[in-house]
Chain A
Amino acid sequence: MRGQRPRITAQEIEIQNQYMADNTEFLPSGKPKISTMEMRGIVKRFPGVLANDHVDFDVHSGEMHALLGENGAGKSTLMRVLYGLYQAEEGEILIDGHPVQIESPHDAIEAGIGMIHQHFMLVPTLTVAENVALGLPSSRGALTDLDRVSARVLELADLYGLQVDPDAYVWQLAVGQQQRVEIIKALYRGAALLILDEPTAVLTPQEVSELFVTLRQMMVDGHALIFISHKLQEVMDICSRVTVLRDGRVVGQQPIDQVTKGALARMMVGRELQAQPEKEEIEQDETRLSLRDVWADNDLGTPGLQGVSLDLRAGEILGVAGVSGNGQRELAQAINGLRTITKGTVKAGGKDITGASPAVIIQQGVSYVPEERMEDGMIKEFTVAENLILREVNKQPFSRGGFLNFRAISRQSDELIKEFNVKTPSKDTPVKNLSGGNIQKLLLARELSRKPEVIIAAQPTRGLDIGATEYVHQVLIDQRAEGTAILLISEDLDEILALSDRIIVIYEGEIMGEVSAEKADPEQLGLLMAGVRSQAGE
């Protein structure tokens, strides 16, 4: 322990050690353990990128090994190699000391490896039991044996404390429940080693702690676990070892009690992190955007927004927190005229824009940074320059009498590329060839060049690396300082807490409550995000 504060309680370690000493070769699920898994010298290339450069990685029974790194550092690639989704060009994989060939997910599963994907691999139109049975041999030959599958699912649910209903359709389940189904699926197939790809990204704080209880139990039972994440605190909380990847190489591998969060962050990014930008005090009186009792349907045709009211003032960042799929998309789209408002009013700058077309709403000074930046924010096949003038294409100086003025377009894009520090080979490169961070910069450049009154930023840093995230945060804070009203819709609670002046929580299309940023604590917000109204009342 070297005198440092242990992250896992002494009792837990004791139990763990006891298990390690105990020579049981089987897991509670009745399957054999994997006592060690080693990946040696893994090399994986993609056109133009060395995704994994001689990576060594290993995990033992009874431990949770964190794989930490930024987007594009090669974590997912490495795990996809392990799970047989990619083939490595060099290197070998050893299980319990024996080299194994893993050429497909099927081989991986045979070897006792399971993977919980970040985007769940469930067929929504099938039931839980059917999802578990998918792709497996059945005891009744070609016929499904769902009764037997259900019984086993319930048995596993009981053993690992994962409550699920085998007969429920997956599309009916909440995200947390779907994740349990994923874990059960892996256990059902006898996974002794479990790869968890950013398992907490879509959960509420409470669901995260429930998941951690299960994972700790699995660790104690002798499963080998790999935890992919970029959330440092979680890694510190639950893992026993950590490996940091950067640019496809291992830059550090240590027991968790010998590192600090700061050291990990430095290893990940390769430099010191900037301190969180300071927000200056500014006047926040003029109301720029107000919603009154707004209702809108979601894609399934059921109410996705149920009477949302909010006021957004100049010079403030209003954070909208919530678990994915609780009406955030509908909210952003309803404000921007991309979704029919069935009831209620939206006003921007004093003007009623309920049911107005996006063109009118843009005219009112509302800028939109959409969640699906590639689908809704950009036209992938168009060039950087073309995308930059999309909103103003019908205006002078960019076009005159229906003809484009290429000189003005070119001047504008040169300026914006420089100002927003977009890294692109040229302004004539199709946007689809840029990285996620640069696409987001481009989008911000276009939206902010119009000097908007209101910005609706939906998940503005999702999928971006730390550098790009810092940049986006700085841009939003600068905009706030200039008096722009910003609605920040995000599923990243840390981001909401860091940037917002006020925070509202959305749950099943309703605003559960509002807290000021100084008084907000994650625990309380987590409860609101799970639909539990605070007793304090409003």
Chain B
Amino acid sequence: MDSSPLVLTLASIILASTPLIIAVCGEILTERSGIVNLSLDGTMLMSAMTGFVVAFETDNVWLGFLGAMGVGAFFAFIVAFGSIRLRQSQFAIGFVLTLLGDDLSAFLGQNYTRIPGPVVQHYAIPILKDIPIIGPIFFNQNVIVYFAYILVFVTWFWLFRTQPGLRLRSAGDRPEAGFARGVGINFQRYLYTIIGGGLVGVAGASYSLNIKIGWAEGLTRGFGWIALAIVIFGGWSPIRGMFGALLFGATKALATYLQRTFPEVSVVAFNAIPWVLMILVLLLVGSDFTERVITVAPKSLRRPLQRFLKISPPQALGSTFVED
């Protein structure tokens, strides 16, 4: 049963969604503080490249992750510095960094393409791995996957159950109010942009060291944008964001399956499915379709449904805050 095709597929979906989950958690922290780090796609490429190169040269995957984290944090710092200190558009800086990351990673990583390197070791959790069905799907993975599980919970808990979380949310929702209560708004924004960027770095490296092992130009291209879309789809909540990432992973798996079943149809068409689906889902969530679903639902379900489906971005997202 452990190796039934369904179980294997589900396990692979989880594995494939891991980097997205990590990146989404990072970006949620950043956006909840009021900054949009639009550079995710470039940051992920840079950190995937850095992660692989460092791990290859030192023969240590964890140093690779550390290096990737540093690169992610540095890119994020540029966004924060540019928007807070230099008062430039976060979106412009993020976009330029995306383009920069794409080309720079290709240039710096050109001597390391398509060579084998160290990878994250598989690690099944004792006892838990023996639970039927659930065990092989969730607990027969590797440390990065487990890190993602914990990260989702920690991010959620940090945001909604802690005192620093209140400060963080005030910075993104109503900075004036937070500031009047002694919260250093710009400090919060630097902090969570950099932490968020570090996590995006980890996400990038977990492609090159875990999923699409090795480095090649454009290795993770597109995943950064998807992570940004999932943040919106997830309504800036890590738990919903995780579901979004899994949904995306599942459609990717579905596309692979369909590709095998209908070999006569072009590969490109199937590869496009997840993206198209993502657009559709975003449209649905953003339209008044959700409102209608809510009104159709039984009364007792309406409130929880509304809380789950209704999305509103942090109200000060993307705006600068000037401390006197």
Contacts and interface: CB of A to CB of B under 8 A. Distances in A.
Interface of A: 80, 85-86, 104-106, 109, 115, 117, 119-126, 130-131, 133-138, 141-144, 185, 301
20 contacts: A86-B324, A105-B182, A121-B174, A121-B177, A121-B181, A123-B173, A124-B173, A124-B174, A126-B169, A126-B173, A134-B166, A134-B167, A134-B183, A135-B166, A135-B170, A135-B183, A141-B163, A143-B161, A144-B163, A185-B181
Q: Which of A130, A134, A141 has the most CB of B within 10 A?
A: A134
Given A126-B166, A133-B166, A137-B163, A109 B178 contact: no
B311 to A, nearest CB: 12
B95 to A, nearest CB: 23
A125 B316 CA distance: 12
Given A124-B315, A126-B169, A134-B181, A301 B174 contact: no
Interface of B: 161-167, 169-170, 173-174, 176-183, 288, 291, 312, 315, 324
B167 A135 contact: yes
Contacts, number: 76
A261 to B, nearest CB: 33
Q: Which of B161, B170, B177, B288 has the most CB of A within 10 A?
A: B177
A115 B179 CA distance: 13
A344 to B, nearest CB: 21
Contacts of A144: 161-163, 165-166
A105 B183 CA distance: 9
B169 A115 contact: no
Contacts of A143: 161-163
Contacts of A142: 162-164
Contacts of B161: 143-144
Nearest to A122: B177
Contacts of B169: 123, 125-126
Contacts of B183: 134-135
The interface residues of chain A, by DSSP majority, are classed as loop
A109 B182 contact: yes
Given A123-B169, A136-B163, A142-B164, A115 B180 contact: yes
B174 A106 contact: no
A123 B164 contact: no
Contacts of B180: 85, 105, 115, 117, 121
A138 B163 contact: yes
A121 B174 CA distance: 8
Nearest to B165: A144
B174 A123 contact: yes
A346 to B, nearest CB: 24
Given A125-B315, A130-B166, A144-B163, A135 B173 contact: no
A301 B288 contact: yes
The interface residues of chain B, by DSSP majority, are classed as helix
Contacts of B181: 105, 121, 134-136, 185
A123 B178 contact: yes
A143 B157 CA distance: 9
Would you list the 8 A-B pairs with minimal beta carbon distance, nearest first? A135-B181, A106-B182, A121-B177, A121-B180, A123-B174, A138-B163, A134-B166, A135-B182
Contacts of B288: 301
Contacts of A137: 163
B316 to A, nearest CB: 10
B166 A121 contact: no
Nearest to B291: A301
Contacts of B312: 125
Contacts of A121: 174, 176-177, 180-181
A122 B170 CA distance: 9
Contacts of A134: 166-167, 170, 177-178, 181, 183
Q: Which of B170, B179, B288, B291 has the most CB of A within 10 A?
A: B170
Given A123-B170, A142-B163, 6 more contacts: A106-B182, A126-B169, A134-B181, A135-B167, A136-B181, A144-B161
A172 to B, nearest CB: 13
A301 B306 CA distance: 13
Nearest to A85: B324
A138 B174 CA distance: 21
Contacts of A109: 182
A348 to B, nearest CB: 30
Contacts of A85: 180, 324
Q: Which of A80, A119, A123, A124 has the most CB of B within 10 A?
A: A123
Contacts of B166: 126, 130, 133-135, 144
Contacts of B291: 301
Contacts of A104: 182
B177 A125 contact: no
A103 to B, nearest CB: 11
A440 to B, nearest CB: 25
Q: Which of A104, A105, A121 has the most CB of B within 10 A?
A: A121
A149 to B, nearest CB: 10
Nearest to B314: A125
Q: Which of B161, B182, B324 has the most CB of A within 10 A?
A: B182
A106 B163 CA distance: 16
A80 B167 CA distance: 22
A131 B170 CA distance: 9
A115 B181 CA distance: 10
A122 B181 CA distance: 10
A144 B181 CA distance: 16
Contacts of A135: 166-167, 170, 178, 181-183
A141 B165 CA distance: 12
A31 B73 CA distance: 44
